[in-house]
């Protein structure tokens, strides 16, 4: 015997702790519905037989080893076996070479070669064909057509289990899928009424241990017609050629692991058949058929059809899964394009990533997302609380280089249960120059999203111990414990999506800041140019204007004999030139206001008003306007020059637009009452009030507009249409507010503040 | 050296403005010859000529318009103040501008005064009258004694 007996785990010493190392291929026994002969393929000398070999009618089993096959079998049977043996490729699953009547029973014969021995299995014919032979091929054809028509992998497997249930008559057929960690999940199920449903059940990796997976991967089909069978040991125990236990890896009638039969017994299963699903040469899943009411032995024809179905299913399913995955990848890349488009349109990155149309969660299989950019946090979907999300971001910030993911975030970051349930899975990508500029996706804990059709109540009812463990409830319980705190794993294409999005956002942000810098440069250049232009233009306009005005005045002086009509026209020229000069001067002021720096200092408004009254003295006296200042004006922090402009323009207007016999102009200051909430007073309000012609409500906005004049040239003296625009802009540059209260025919009050 | 015989320089591109200025000076009783530079080129030539000028050729004062073709008024002022022979001569800016930045810049470059040309002829005359009174009757002007010898 090779290796030490202590090390080798076989059916004799297997338990839950070591079943992952059980060498099932060395079970050294078969199931009773088959007789096994192991031979030397060169001499056809029989090396070992199963204890039930007497059933073949060649005498007692123990007498067969040492004899040659041609001395035992009929010449035709021997011919059949030896002819087939020449075509064998090794090692490969057993080849069905035909049937023969042996010991009064029809038996199907199978041969294969493994480890230098030729194995012949003679199987009693199955007593329970699923459907009539004639219908079987129709079922197969229709089944494959239906499989082809299904659109999703799960839909496909649902079709597959129903087709197989019809073909075999098994009471339960489940499709079982392996995950990357070796655990598995029932993804489709066809089950008779009254039986417990297992759809959605998850198994821990230990329930289909590695050795079992290895053996499943060797064949398309395994059949256990009677779970409660009595294993039939091999005689002699040791293979005389290899001096070891025979390697029964490919023997389909091999006695199975006691762990497996115990599990099946706990489920109340009497017979099983397991088909394998492969993808790209790897075991992808299983289709597991079960009979609960009685043992069930399927004949080779039905099994062959099932095997074909399993092979076809594997091919079709691989294609379906690839297509589904491709669709997901495609939707990710479409959403990336849409997000990039939005990033281009919107000025705010966070807005672009969270718009209702397309956002971070549109394509990504995640339940929540967060955007950290500068000081702002934007949350989308199902996320932990904002403070928890902030703490998570701070904890992972240094790991995101430029992408970081975890499907067991509780291991990487400290968090409370509430947070963990929503952020078991974290995928993060850098989107800015700082570590904390992140986009984060969240996945909930996986087990909370799993719904098992089974009855979880039984978890508590069953007594602890080995028996309680080896059943679906025990499996689910173990699986739930194993995946505590885990989310569904992040896929390569999702990491790729995150990293590409991060890169794009970084580029957009960098590009945008470059763009801003360029725009700023352009703006300040065009501001300078505009300033130059206005300055030069005003000089070029003013110079000829002064020529016109002064020459007209010279002519007026010297030509004493000029007819009065011409004298008036010359005077008009002078007046018009003056007005145009005023317009140019106003424009200069207005443009200067655009870029002038507001220099605030303590300005005594009483002094300002005195100066303005002095400036306007001629107008005040000629109109006999009474100037009222009800109480001392305050000292305010503002720009002296522009506040003078504001008051000058408002006061000049108040005097000008008045047709009353007794004209008044009031300059005052209001302190608003203190806020009942903060106890602070708002900014003081200044006002200039006249009893003049008033402004109609419809005109109140218009008066503030550039060059907008309400009155004909000569009425109320010609204005430039600039005065109030300059007032409005000066107030605006002080961050103040300007508003008008007026009654037509009674007067107007202009209110303004200088800081809010 | 008699002040009355030395020239007054007007740096002025506008013919009308120069015409009006001459008239106003006459009205104010100023009999000094008025020399004129109307462009950057003329100014540069004038500066060159003045480097070797006799004391009698140095102007009593200068009227300077800030807006000139071919050269910036502020540059003319700066160069006047650095000029070998012209630097002591008072420069009175006489311009259309009333912009704060022009006023500030002119004084910082050494202007002796800043006048904004009014549109009104009477006001213009009055302004020139004040200037003439001030420079000829109130203050003592540089004599260029060094160069007179």
pLDDT of residue A613: 92
B116 vs B102: CA distance, rounded Å:
11
- Provide, as residue numbers in chain B, all residues whose Cβ is less than 8 Å from the Cβ of A547: 14-17, 20
Residues A423-456: tens digit of each pLDDT: 899 999 998 878 888 999 999 888 776 665 554 4
- As a whole-number percent, the residues of chain A with pLDDT over 70 amount to 88
pLDDT of residue A716: 61
- Phi-psi sector, A485: left (phi>0), alpha (psi -120 to 50), beta: left
pLDDT of residue A132: 67
Query: Is A293 a residue whose pLDDT tops 50?
Result: yes
Round the average pLDDT of chain B to a whole number and report it. 87
pLDDT of residue A660: 87
Helix (H) / strand (E) containing A325 = helix A300-345
Residues A330-361: tens digit of each pLDDT: 999 899 888 888 887 766 888 888 888 888 99
- CB within 8 Å: B17 and A578: no
DSSP string, A557-592: HH-TT--HHHHHHHHHHHHHHHHHHHHHHHHHHHHH
Lowest average pLDDT, out of A69-73, A445-449, A751-755, goes to A445-449
pLDDT of residue A17: 59
Sign of CA dihedral B104, B107, B110, B115: positive
Closest Cβ opposite residue A539 in set B23, B67, B119: B67
Give the confidence band of A709 by pLDDT, cuts at 50, 70, 90.
low
Q: How many CB atoms lie within 10 A of CB A294?
A: 10
Q: What beta strand segments (E) does chain B contain?
A: 8-11, 34-37, 62-64, 67-68, 71-72, 91-95, 113-116
- Provide, as residue numbers in chain B, all residues whose Cβ is less than 8 Å from the Cβ of A586: none
CA distance A439 to chain B (A): 51
pLDDT of residue A749: 93
The residue-averaged pLDDT of A188-204 equals 85
Give the confidence band of B148 by pLDDT, cuts at 50, 70, 90.
very low
A372 vs A352: CA distance, rounded Å:
13
A357 vs A625: CA distance, rounded Å:
64
Residues A170-181: tens digit of each pLDDT: 999 999 888 877
Closest listed residue to residue A603, CA positions, set A593, A612, A616, A591:
A612
- CB within 8 Å: A588 and B99: yes
Residues 6+ apart with CB under 8 A from B88: B142, B144
**Which residue of chain A has the CA closest to B119?**
A546
Give the confidence band of A466 by pLDDT, cuts at 50, 70, 90.
very low
pLDDT of residue A376: 85
The residue-averaged pLDDT of A370-389 equals 89
| Residues of chain B with a CB closer than 8 angstroms to some CB in chain A | 14-17, 20, 23, 67, 96-100, 117, 119-122, 124
Query: Is A469 a residue whose pLDDT tops 90?
Result: no
Query: Is A642 a residue whose pLDDT tops 70?
Result: yes
pLDDT of residue A677: 57
- CB within 8 Å: B100 and A641: yes
Instruction: Tell me the helices (H) and strands (E) count for chain B, helix number first.
Output: 6, 7
Give the confidence band of A583 by pLDDT, cuts at 50, 70, 90.
confident
- Provide, as residue numbers in chain B, all residues whose Cβ is less than 8 Å from the Cβ of A592: 99
Please write down the long-range contacts of A280-286, taking CB distance under 8 Å and 24 or more positions apart.
Answer: A280/A318, A282/A217, A283/A178, A283/A213, A283/A216, A283/A217, A284/A177, A284/A178, A284/A314, A284/A317, A284/A318, A285/A175, A285/A176, A285/A177, A285/A178, A285/A184, A285/A187, A286/A175, A286/A176, A286/A184, A286/A208, A286/A216
pLDDT of residue A342: 86
Which residues in A135-156 are b (16+ Cβ under 10 Å) and which e?
Answer: ebeebbeebbeebeebeebeeb
- Provide, as residue numbers in chain A, all residues whose Cβ is less than 8 Å from the Cβ of B14: 543-544, 546-547
Closest Cβ opposite residue B96 in set A539, A549, A550: A539
Burial zone of A99 (CB within 10 Å; 0-12 exposed, 13-18 middle, 19+ buried): middle
Interface test with B, best of A535, A543, A558, A588 (most B CBs within 10 A): A543
Residues B74-132: tens digit of each pLDDT: 999 999 999 989 999 999 999 887 777 889 999 999 999 999 988 888 899 999 999 99
- Provide, as residue numbers in chain B, all residues whose Cβ is less than 8 Å from the Cβ of A543: 14, 16-17, 67, 96
Query: Is A64 a residue whose pLDDT tops 50?
Result: yes
CA distance B108 to chain A (A): 20
Closest listed residue to residue A186, CA positions, set A451, A501, A554:
A451
Token code pair at residue A480: 């739930």
Answer with the residue of higher pLDDT: A31 or A483. A31
- Provide, as residue numbers in chain A, all residues whose Cβ is less than 8 Å from the Cβ of B119: 545-546, 549-550, 574, 577-578, 581
pLDDT of residue A735: 85
Query: Is A588 a residue whose pLDDT tops 50?
Result: yes
pLDDT of residue B59: 93
pLDDT of residue A675: 58
Give the confidence band of A459 by pLDDT, cuts at 50, 70, 90.
very low
CA distance B120 to chain A (A): 7
Residues 6+ apart with CB under 8 A from B34: B7, B8, B9, B10, B21, B22, B25
The residue-averaged pLDDT of A238-244 equals 86
Token code pair at residue A205: 């990796």
- Provide, as residue numbers in chain B, all residues whose Cβ is less than 8 Å from the Cβ of A540: 67
- CB within 8 Å: B119 and A543: no
Alpha helices in A346-382 (DSSP H): 349-354
pLDDT of residue A168: 87
- CB within 8 Å: B119 and A539: no
pLDDT of residue A6: 46
Query: Is A713 a residue whose pLDDT tops 70?
Result: no
Pairing of strands A117-124, A105-114: antiparallel
pLDDT of residue B35: 94
**Which residue of chain B has the CA closest to A576?**
B119
- Provide, as residue numbers in chain B, all residues whose Cβ is less than 8 Å from the Cβ of A587: none
- As a whole-number percent, the residues of chain A with pLDDT over 90 amount to 21
Q: Is A522 helix (H, G, I), strand (E, B) or coil?
A: helix
- CB within 8 Å: B119 and A588: no
Query: Is A113 a residue whose pLDDT tops 80?
Result: yes
Q: How many CB atoms lie within 10 A of CB B56?
A: 13
| Residues of chain A with a CB closer than 8 angstroms to some CB in chain B | 535-536, 538-540, 542-547, 549-551, 553-554, 557, 574, 577-578, 581, 585, 588, 592, 641
Query: Is A615 a residue whose pLDDT tops 80?
Result: yes
Q: Are A170 and A186 in contact (CB under 8 A)?
A: no
A543 vs B15: CA distance, rounded Å:
10
Helix (H) / strand (E) containing A172 = strand A172-178
Query: Is A4 a residue whose pLDDT tops 50?
Result: no
Residues 6+ apart with CB under 8 A from A209: A19, A20, A22, A259
Query: Is A462 a residue whose pLDDT tops 50?
Result: no
- CB within 8 Å: B16 and A550: yes
pLDDT of residue A115: 83
Residues A684-698: tens digit of each pLDDT: 889 999 998 888 887
- Provide, as residue numbers in chain A, all residues whose Cβ is less than 8 Å from the Cβ of B97: 535, 539
Give the confidence band of A606 by pLDDT, cuts at 50, 70, 90.
very high
pLDDT of residue A279: 85
Lowest average pLDDT, out of A44-53, A80-89, A713-722, goes to A713-722
- CB within 8 Å: B117 and A641: no
Lowest average pLDDT, out of A82-91, A495-504, A648-657, B102-111, goes to A82-91
A104 vs A56: CA distance, rounded Å:
8
Please write down the long-range contacts of A594-599, taking CB distance under 8 Å and 24 or more positions apart.
Answer: A594/A527, A594/A729, A595/A527, A595/A531, A596/A642, A596/A733, A598/A638, A598/A639, A598/A642, A598/A733, A598/A734, A599/A639
pLDDT of residue A460: 33
The residue-averaged pLDDT of A77-103 equals 85
Alpha helices in B28-140 (DSSP H): 40-50, 73-82, 100-108, 121-133
Query: Is A1 a residue whose pLDDT tops 50?
Result: no
């Amino acid at each position: 015997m090779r290796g030490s007996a202590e090390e080798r785990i076989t059916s004799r010493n297997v338990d839950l702790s070591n079943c992952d190392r059980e060498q099932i291929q060395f079970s050294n026994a078969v199931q009773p519905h088959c007789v096994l002969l192991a031979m030397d393929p060169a001499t056809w000398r029989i090396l070992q037989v199963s204890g039930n070999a007497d059933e073949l009618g060649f005498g007692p089993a123990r007498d067969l080893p040492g004899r040659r096959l041609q001395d035992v079998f009929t010449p035709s049977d021997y011919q059949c076996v030896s002819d087939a043996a020449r075509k064998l490729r090794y090692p490969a699953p057993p080849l069905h070479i035909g049937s023969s009547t042996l010991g009064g029973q029809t038996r199907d014969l199978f041969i294969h070669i493994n480890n230098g021995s030729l194995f012949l299995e003679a199987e009693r014919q199955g007593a329970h064909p699923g459907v009539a032979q004639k219908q079987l091929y129709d079922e197969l054809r229709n089944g494959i057509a239906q499989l082809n028509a299904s659109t999703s992998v799960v839909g496909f497997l649902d079709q597959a289990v129903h087709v197989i249930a019809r073909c075999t008559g098994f009471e339960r057929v489940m499709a079982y899928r392996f995950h990357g960690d070796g655990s598995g999940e029932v993804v489709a199920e066809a089950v008779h009424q009254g039986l417990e449903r297992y759809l959605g059940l998850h198994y821990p990796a230990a329930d289909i241990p590695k050795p079992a997976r290895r053996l499943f991967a060797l064949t398309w089909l395994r059949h256990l017609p009677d779970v409660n069978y009595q294993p039939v040991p091999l005689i002699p125990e040791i293979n005389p050629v290899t001096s070891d236990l025979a390697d029964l890896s490919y023997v389909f009638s091999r006695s199975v692991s006691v762990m497996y039969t115990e599990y099946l017994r706990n489920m109340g299963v009497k017979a099983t058949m397991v088909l394998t699903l492969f993808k790209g040469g790897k075991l992808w899943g299983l289709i597991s058929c079960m009979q609960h009411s009685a043992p069930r032995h399927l004949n080779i024809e039905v099994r062959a059809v099932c095997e074909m179905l399993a092979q076809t299913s594997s091919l079709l399913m691989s294609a379906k899964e690839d297509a589904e995955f491709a669709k997901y990848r495609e939707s990710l890349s479409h959403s990336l394009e849409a997000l990039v488009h939005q990033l281009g349109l919107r000025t705010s990155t966070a807005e672009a990533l969270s718009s209702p149309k397309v956002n971070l969660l549109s394509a990504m299989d995640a339940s929540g997302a967060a955007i950290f950019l500068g000081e702002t946090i934007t949350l989308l979907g199902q996320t932990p609380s904002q403070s928890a999300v902030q703490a998570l971001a701070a904890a992972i910030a240094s790991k995101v280089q430029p992408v970081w993911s975890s499907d067991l975030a509780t291991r990487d970051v400290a968090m409370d249960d509430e947070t963990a349930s929503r952020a078991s899975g974290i995928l993060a990508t850098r989107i800015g120059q700082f570590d904390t500029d992140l986009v984060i996706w969240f996945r909930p804990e996986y087990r909370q999203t799993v719904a098992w059709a089974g009855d979880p109540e039984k978890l508590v009812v069953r007594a602890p111990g080995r028996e309680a463990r080896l059943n679906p409830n025990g499996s689910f319980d173990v699986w739930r414990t194993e995946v505590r705190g885990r989310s569904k794993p992040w896929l390569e294409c999702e990491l790729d999506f995150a990293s590409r999005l991060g890169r794009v956002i970084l580029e957009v942000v960098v590009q945008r800041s470059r763009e801003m810098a360029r725009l700023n440069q352009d703006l300040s250049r065009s501001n300078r140019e505009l300033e130059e232009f206005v300055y030069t233009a005003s000089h070029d306009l003013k110079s000829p204007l002064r020529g016109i005005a002064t020459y007209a005045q010279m002519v007026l002086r010297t030509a004493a004999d000029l007819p009065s009509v011409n004298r008036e026209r010359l005077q008009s020229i002078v007046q018009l030139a003056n007005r145009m000069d005023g317009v140019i001067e106003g424009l200069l002021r207005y443009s200067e206001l655009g870029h002038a720096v507001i220099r605030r200092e303590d300005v005594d408004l009483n002094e300002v008003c005195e100066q303005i009254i002095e400036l306007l003295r001629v107008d005040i006296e000629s109109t006999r306007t009474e100037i009222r200042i009800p109480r001392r004006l305050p000292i305010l922090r503002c720009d002296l020059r522009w506040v003078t402009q504001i008051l000058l323009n408002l006061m000049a207007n108040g005097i000008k637009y008045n047709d009353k016999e007794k004209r008044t102009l009031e300059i005052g200051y209001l302190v608003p009452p203190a806020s009942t909430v903060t106890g602070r007073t708002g900014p003081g309000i200044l006002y200039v009030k006249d009893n003049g012609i008033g402004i109609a409500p419809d005109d109140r906005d218009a008066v503030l507009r550039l060059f907008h004049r309400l009155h004909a040239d000569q009425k109320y003296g010609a204005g430039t249409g600039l005065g109030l625009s300059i007032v409005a802009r000066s107030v605006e540059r002080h961050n103040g507010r300007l508003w008008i209260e007026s009654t037509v025919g009674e007067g107007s009050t202009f209110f303004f503040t200088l800081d809010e | 050296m008699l002040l009355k015989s030395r020239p007054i320089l007007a740096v002025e591109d506008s013919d009308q403005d120069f015409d009006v200025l001459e008239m106003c000076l006459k009205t104010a009783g100023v009999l000094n010859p008025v020399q004129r530079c109307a462009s950057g080129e003329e100014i540069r030539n004038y500066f060159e000529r003045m480097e070797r000028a006799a004391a009698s050729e140095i102007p009593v004062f200068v009227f300077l318009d800030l807006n000139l073709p071919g050269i910036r008024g502020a540059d003319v002022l700066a160069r006047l103040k650095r000029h070998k022979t012209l630097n002591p001569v008072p420069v009175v800016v006489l311009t259309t501008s009333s912009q704060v930045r022009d006023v500030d810049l002119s004084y910082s470059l050494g202007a002796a005064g800043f006048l904004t040309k009014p549109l009104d002829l009477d006001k213009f005359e009055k302004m020139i009258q004040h200037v003439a009174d001030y420079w000829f009757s109130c203050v003592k002007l540089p004599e260029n004694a060094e160069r007179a010898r």
